[in-house]
Structure 1
Amino acid sequence: MLFLRSLAFNLGFYALTTLVALGCLPALVARRPVLGVARLWARGTIWLLRVAAGIRVEFRGLENIPKGPLLVAAKHQSALETLALCAIFPEFAYVLKRELLFIPVVGWYLSRGGMVAIDRSKGNRAMALMNAAAAEAIAHGRQLIVFPEGTRRPTNAPPVYKQGLSHLYAALRVPCLPVALNTGLFWPRRGFLRLPGTAVIEVLPPIQPGMERAAFHATVLERIETASNALLDAGRAELAANGHSVPGPQAETAARSPAAR
């Protein structure tokens, strides 16, 4: 049954993605219609997860989202949060690799949606160019979404936060909104199966601008990891109660230790 439900979701997800991407091409005329298409895709996928795979996506702490431009720092375990965050931030802009802009059709949406692309081929200039693009997005009142670890990480892996987030925090001088989650338990990276349960995405209280970079780095890591570990513990307990085994928290001991921070 788990295999069949996972198969049904995966087939439905790719069908939905193709239908939305091709059917909404007229939206490419401007940024805001593109963001609307992304929200449609996100909400459709969240519905499909619940109906086909038995995964309920729960958003917590939405009252912590202030109005205006923001720097959003999210834990990254799964493809799920990549699309789910589109549903709660009306003017979102992702920081992403420039190479993604060259993907047929998908790259068109990313480009027209005003995402902030990092051109790593520029070497030392890449950070300055990213700062300029990020500052322009913030000037337009957007919510700039960053995955501080740069890529999806296994749920039992210790945190590896890069310095790009603290660099943006110091340069942009806007509140930083940490986001914790346990999505990797239910939609694992590089995995076919979708395990039924409650995938939680929790928005934490914002960190106001003005902190020293090292102090900010330690603070945002502590808040995201502490909250994510609690969500992972609850998610593992739910999965175990339903008879599903998942990777244990062996490496999370290191994630919770001062040395890891």
Structure 2
Amino acid sequence: MILIRSLLFTLVFYLWSVIMCLLLVPTLVGPRHWLTFGFKVWSTTTIALLRVICGVRVEIRGRQHLPHGAALIAAKHQCMLDTVVPFTLMDDACLVLKKELTRIPFYGWYCLRGKMIVVDREAQAAALRKLVTDSRARMAEQRQLMIFPEGHRMEPGAAPDYKPGVAALYRDLDMPCVPMATNSGVHWPAHGIIRRPGVVVFEFLEPIPAGLKRGAFMAELQNRVEAASNALLEAGI
């Protein structure tokens, strides 16, 4: 039964995504807030489909830690759902994405039109400079910037692999960083189509204050995110 429901969800999700891609074509030349609204519709509907078809419910914790206006969020990344839910959670989400995603027809165009921050991981130092420059611009627009510090999806419980990009943003933007934990990979694995019933939790943690040294910040971020994410795994929800 789980396999059948997972197959049905996958079919409906991609069909709905194609329909949304076509409906959003006018946003490529219209005001950006049209596209922001479209992202919210797509995100909200995807969450509803996941609940109705697969029995996977999304629960948000710690909303009080997410400030209004400009914000820096450093999130655990375990599956595709992590890039869908932010558009429902935040007023004007801005994700840090790898360059390869912009080559996907329609999706890549909308990411560029939505002024997501695109990083070419092969460029290394140049990519880091661009990340910082673009992030300053998005903060000036009062957007909520979400970065995945490990740079790619991680299996639940896997050893952490935090990259320096988030520390560069934290130092340059000189603002608190809101860690976010999740157990999303338990119910939506990074590979395969199985969607396991249960509760996907996205938990905003207490902000890390601005001004810490790089090493102290990275240690604090990793400790908080990993401890909270592992606690969700142990809870078995």
Identify the TM-score tier after normalising by the shorter chain: over 0.9
TM-score, normalised by the number of residues in structure 1:
0.87
CA distance in structure 2 between the partners assigned to 1:56 and 1:95 by the alignment: 25
The residue number in structure 2 matching 1:227 is 228
How far apart are the structure 2 equivalents of 1:199 and 1:152?
A: 16
Deviation of the 1:66 alpha carbon: 1.2
For structure 2, which runs of at least 5 residues remain unmatched after alignment? none
Equivalent position amino acid for 2:192 in 1: G
Contact preservation (8 Å) 2:157, 2:230: no
How many Å apart are 1:99 and its aligned residue?
2.6
Q: How does 1:158-197 map to 2 (within 5 A)?
A: 158-197=159-198
CA contact (8 A) 2:57 2:200 kept: yes
Distance apart, 1:214 and its partner CA: 0.8
String of CA shifts for 1:35-57, please: whole Å, max 9, x gaps. Answer: 21111111001000000001011
Identity of aligned residues (%): 42
Query: Is the 1:181–1:231 Cα contact (8 Å) retained in structure 2?
Result: yes
Corresponding position of 2:7 = 7
Q: Aligned partner of 1:130: which letter?
A: L
Cα contact 1:71–1:176 (8 A) shared by 2: yes
Q: Number of aligned pairs?
A: 236
**1:74–1:178 CA contact under 8 A, matched in 2:** yes
TM-score (norm 2): 0.96
Is residue 181–residue 228 contact of structure 1 (8 Å, CA) maintained in 2?
Answer: yes
Distance 1:216 1:19, change over 3 A: same
Deviations 1:9-38 (A, max 9, x none): 111110111111111211222322112111
CA RMSD of aligned residues (A): 1.2
Partner of 1:259: none
Paired with 1:3 and 1:122, the residues of 2 have a C-alpha distance of 40
Asked if the contact 1:30–1:113 (Cα under 8 Å) also holds between the matched residues in 2, the reply is: no
Q: Counterpart amino acid of 2:76?
A: K
* Rg larger in structure: 1
Q: Does the residue aligned with 1:161 lie in a helix, a strand or coil? A: coil
Distance (whole Å) between structure 2 residues aligned to residue 170 and residue 50 of structure 1:
39
Amino acid at match of 2:6: S
Identify the residue that residue 55 of structure 1 maps to in structure 2.
56
Structure 1 Cα separation of the partners of residues 201 and 172 of structure 2: 30
> What secondary structure sits across from 2:67 in the alignment?
coil
Q: Which runs of 5+ in 1 are unaligned?
A: 239-261
Instruction: After TM superposition, list the pairs within 5 Å mapping 1:1-261 onto structure 2.
Output: 1-28=1-28, 29-235=30-236, 238=237
CA apart distance, 1:124: 2.6
Amino acid at match of 1:124: A
Cα drift, residue 113 of structure 1: 0.3
